[in-house]
Amino acid sequence: MKNFILNHFQIEQRNSSIKTELLCGLLNFFAIMYIIVVNPALFEQAGMNFGGVFLATICATAIGCFYMGMMANYPIVIAPGLGINAYVVYTIVVSRGYSWQDALGCCFVASAIFLVLSLTSFREQLVNSIPECLKIGITAGIGLFVTFIGLKSGGLVVDSPDTFVTMGSLTNYGTALTAIGVVLCLILSILNVPASMLVGMVIMAIAAWMLGMLQLPSELISLPSDIGSTVGGLEFDHIHEMIPIVMVILLVTMFDTTGTMIGVGKQAKIVKNGVFPHLRNALMADAFASFWGTLLGTGPCSSFAESSAGVMAGARTGLAAVTTGILFLSLLFIFPLAQAIASVPAITSPVLIIAGIQMFSEISTLDWEEKRTLYPSVLACIMMPLTYSITNGVAFGMISYVAITIAAGKRKEIHPLLYLFSIWFLLDFLHIL
């Protein structure tokens, strides 16, 4: 068994050890464990059963980690993406009024296309068709969108008849606890505390319990009672009118996870002379996890930047990812505790806010002197939270980029696929499709 592990994961060739990989897998597990509470709490806002999404989140994460570790041999964690799943919940279901079954149907179609494209080189071509400035603007915009959702969920931002939104009252225990949680998580992150998000949630959970806001369940160890309530809950009745949504899910998931994967791969020093070994298998991992995740009852999956926690500690092979996947399966039995924690927004909201801030930080990589690329990028970014829609942000960014680039006489820089996407979004805005 030991020889199989050493040979399959190329542990010695990558200057690592089994002990190091196992410990780094454990570290990644703690760094990403918050997702089993935050993701089901997110989908609960769409009317889905917490227990069903809890199961789907754990299984999708395990599937993604196993595939990434065994087939690609990368120390990268795959799990349901908070940014794209916030879009699924708050734009598709809450804002546009579709059922969660319709939303999952969209995610399934996008994931199926994602899976097929990952088998070919077309996935990379599709990602490359989007100019870098728009990728930055869209990623930053999703960050703002997720942060805004976290702020509203935690009570720090509330509705106002005069100014649309305003600040919530810190005299409210829940709102005050959210504010403290945000500052605490930021401090822990800046101090490079391992698993800072999880540590912050644990501290806030203890504070909420002491204030009487968190009621611990009488039974801490148990499986979800409605464990299969979301499995296969897909509907395709409105899929013909949701094609632009499918496109957005597909595009955002593809270049978001690809960028993270490449960044962590470089950090792990797996890249040799600019070449990523087993890249296609690595790209398949998130597509495979998304496909099965949507069937089980959660949104698309992506590679997580938290994987860098294990990489920084020495992870170099897929054994770390497999270890994380195995540990995730053990979480099935702490459902009552996870559900209790998720019932207090002040515990989960800071995680959404910090995750959004981290995504928004991508905006710093924009070329602020090049106005032709700056304006479409910023427009894509600000339209997402202000219209409560990632689709609108992507559409405004693409359409404005094409128009400005043509006006500047640089139409050769526009990929043919970008013309297609822009025309499609424009026709959708005009209700011609």
**pLDDT (tens place) for every residue of the chain, 433 residues total:** 788 888 888 888 888 889 889 988 888 888 788 899 889 999 999 999 888 999 999 999 999 999 999 988 888 899 998 888 988 998 899 888 999 999 999 999 999 998 888 887 776 677 677 888 988 898 888 889 889 988 998 999 998 888 888 999 999 999 999 999 999 999 998 898 877 888 888 899 999 999 999 888 877 777 776 666 778 788 888 888 888 889 888 887 876 676 677 667 666 776 665 556 667 777 788 888 999 999 999 999 988 877 877 777 788 888 999 999 999 998 888 888 888 888 888 988 888 888 888 888 888 889 899 999 999 999 999 998 898 888 888 889 999 999 999 999 988 889 888 898 899 888 878 876 5
How many domains are there within the chain?
1
Which tokens belong to 76? 């990268």
* Backbone φ and ψ of 38, nearest 5°: -70, -45
The structure tokens listed for 402 are: 């094409």
Residue 404, domain member (yes or no): no
**Do residues 229 and 52 make contact, with C-beta atoms less than 8 angstroms apart?**
yes
| 412 domain residue, yes or no | no
Residue 171 lies in a domain: yes
Say if 413 falls within a structural domain. Answer: no
Question: Rounded distance, CA 348 to CA 38, Å?
Answer: 6
Contacts of 171 (CB under 8 A, 6+ apart): none
pTM of the model: 0.80
Q: What separation in angstroms does the CA of 69 have from each of 9, 22, 106, 237, 326?
A: 8, 12, 28, 37, 11
Cα separation, 262 vs 18, whole angstroms: 24
**What 3-state class would DSSP assign to 275?**
strand
- Classify residue 210 as exposed, middle or buried by CB count within 10 Å of its CB (0-12, 13-18, 19+): exposed
Q: What is the pLDDT of residue 81?
A: 87
In a domain, 258, yes or no: yes
Residue 245 to residue 247: CA distance in whole angstroms: 5
Among candidate residues 325, 286, 324, 289, the one with its CA nearest the CA of residue 302: 286
pLDDT (0 to 100) of residue 27 = 82
**Cα–Cα–Cα angle for 60, 253, 246, nearest 5°?**
100
Domain that holds residue 325: 2-360
User: CB neighbours of 279 closer than 8 A, spacing ≥ 6?
Assistant: 72
What is the rounded CA–CA span in Å between residue 160 and residue 147?
18
Q: Which of 326, 12, 297, 258 is nearest to 114 (CA)?
A: 258
In the DSSP assignment, the letter for residue 301 is E
Task: Answer whether residue 270 is part of any domain.
Answer: yes
Inside any domain, residue 414:
no
**Cα–Cα dist 367/226, whole Å:** 50
Query: 252 phi and psi, to 5 degrees?
Result: -65, -45
382 in any annotated domain:
no
What six digits make up the tokens of 120? Answer: 């070919």
pLDDT at site 169: 92
Give the integer Cα–Cα distance in Å for 175 and 345. Answer: 9
Could you give the angle at which helices 279-296 and 50-67 cross, rounded to 10 degrees?
A: 160
How far apart CA 319 and CA 328 sit, in angstroms, is 14
